[in-house]
Amino acid sequence: MAKAAIFGCSAMRLSNQERSFFRDVAPWGFILFARNISEPDQVSDLCNDLREAAGHNAPVLIDQEGGRVARLRGPHWREWPPVLELAEAPGLNEAERCEALSLRYEIIGRELRACGIDVNCAPLLDVPLPGGHDVIGDRALGSDPETVSNRARAVFDGLLRAGVLPVVKHVPGHGRAMVDSHLSLPVVDACLGDLQSTDFPPFAAFADAPLAMTAHVVYSAIDAGRCATLSPDVIAFIRNGLGVDGLLMTDDLSMKALSGDFADRTRASLVAGCDVVLHCNGDFSEMREIASVLPELSGDALRRADYAESLRRTTAPPVDLDSLDKRYASLMERAGVPHA
C-alpha cells in the first residue's frame, strides 16, 4: 500500500540509494523540478524509473504554470508568458480569454503527458489583494473571486482534456499574504467576513477538485497559532466550510514558513487533516525523517487518492495539435501577447 507522501529526487537519474529508499517506502507520488530535467526522453525514463521503484503507477507531479513557474523550458518545450498577461489581455473579451487559457493548458498538459508527467500543480485560485507579496503577482488569474474562479475552470478543463490531473492551490488562499511562505511564515489578520467574501470563494467553487494544496499561511480569524497546513481548525473549515473533498496535499514541507524537525512537520500535517505530505528538494536525510513516521494511505485519504487516480488514468482523446496551436496563436495575436 502506498504511503502518504509525495517526494522529489535529487537529479536527472535515480541514485541506487534513492531507488532502494523509494522501493521500501512506496510513496503515493513524486514531483519533478528543473534539476530533474534535460530533454523529453530523459524525463520519460525518469518517470518510468520512479514508478518502478515505488512499485505502483505513482502520479508524477510538476509545477508547469508558465511564466516564472515553469520546470520544462526551451528548446525542448514551449516558453510561456506569465498567465496574467493572457488573463488580462485587453484585445480579447472574457469568453476569448477563457478559451485561450483552456487551450494554453491543454497544450501544456499534452506536453507533460508526452514525457510521462500526469499531474500539474495548477490552477492558482489565490486572489491577490493590494499590498500582498508578489510571490503570487503575475501568476494570478485575476483580481476578484468570480473572475479567478471562471478563468481557473478554463485552466482546469484544459488540463483534464489532456489527461493531466490539476491541483488547485493554495487553499484557502495566499493572495493576502504579506510575505513569501518559501522564506517566512505569513500571518493574515483579516476578519472572517473579508476572507469569506474575497479569499475563500474560488476554493468553494472548486469543491469538486480531485487534488488541492494547502497554504503555509496563518489565518488569525480561524487559528491564530498555526498555519493552514498544520491547523485542524483550518483543515476542518476547508472540508466543512468550503466543501473541499479532494485529496489534500501540503505545500512543500521544506519551506521556511514551517519550523521543527521533519518528523514533527509530517505528524502535525497529517494530524491536522492533510491526506499526504509534499517534500520537494530531494534531500535524502529529510526524506528519511519524514518516512520514519509516514502511515499508509487509508480511510478517506485512500478513497480520495483512488478517485484522483481514476481521473488521471482517463485516456486523453486524440486531437489535432496543429489546430490547437493555430487557434491559440490567433487569439494571442489579437490579444497582443507573445505566444509560445
Kindly give the parts of the chain with pLDDT less than 70: 313-316, 340
Verify whether residue 182 is a known catalytic residue: yes
- The set of cell numbers assigned to 137 is 503577482
293 falls within a domain:
yes
Residue 327 CA to residue 28 CA, distance in Å, equals 37
Asked if residue 219 is part of any domain, the answer here is: yes
The contacts of residue 322 (CB under 8 Å, 6+ apart) are none
How far, in whole angstroms, is CA 92 from its chain's centroid?
A: 27
The verdict on residue 181 lying in a domain is yes
228 Cβ neighbours under 8 A, 6+ residues apart: 171, 172, 214, 215, 216, 217, 218, 219, 234, 235, 238
CB 129 within 8 A of CB 79: no
Q: Residue 185, exposed/middle/buried by CB under 10 A (0-12, 13-18, 19+)?
A: middle
Instruction: Give the CATH number for residue 211.
Output: 3.20.20.300
Start-to-end CA distance of the chain, whole Å, equals 41
Domain that holds residue 298: 165-315
Asked if the structure places residue 144 within a domain, the reply is no
pTM of the model: 0.96
Residue 124, beta-bridge partner list = 169
What are the cell numbers at 100?
Answer: 485561450
54 found inside a domain: no
Cell 493572457 sits at which residue?
A: 86
Angstrom CA distances, 106 to 37, 68, 266, 267, 291, stand at 21, 19, 34, 36, 35
* Residue 291 belongs to some domain of the structure: yes
pLDDT tens digits, residue range 125-158?
999 988 888 899 999 999 999 999 999 999 999 9
What is the Cα–Cα distance from 282 to 278, expressed in whole angstroms?
11
Arithmetic mean of pLDDT over the chain: 95
Residue 160: closest CA among 323, 328, 309, 316: 316
**Catalytic residue status for 251:** yes
Question: Residue 3 is which amino acid?
Answer: K
Exactly one of 251, 252, 275, 279 is catalytic; which is it?
Answer: 251
Catalytic hit among 24, 41, 144, 182:
182
Which cell is 55 given? 512499485
pLDDT in the model for residue 338: 75
Question: Does 193 reside within a domain?
Answer: yes
Output the CA angle 19-25-30, nearest 5 degrees.
Answer: 70
Give CA–CA dist 50/62, Å, rounded.
Answer: 14
Nearest-angstrom CA–CA distance, 92 and 335: 6
Neighbouring CB atoms inside 10 A of 153's CB total: 18
Sheet of 276-279, strands arranged across: 165-166, 119-120, 60-62, 27-32, 3-7, 276-279, 247-252, 211-214, 168-171
Number of compact structural domains in the chain: 1
Residue 320 inside a domain? The answer is no
| DSSP E strand stretches across the chain | 3-7, 27-32, 60-62, 64-66, 69-70, 119-120, 165-166, 168-171, 187-188, 211-214, 218-219, 247-252, 276-279
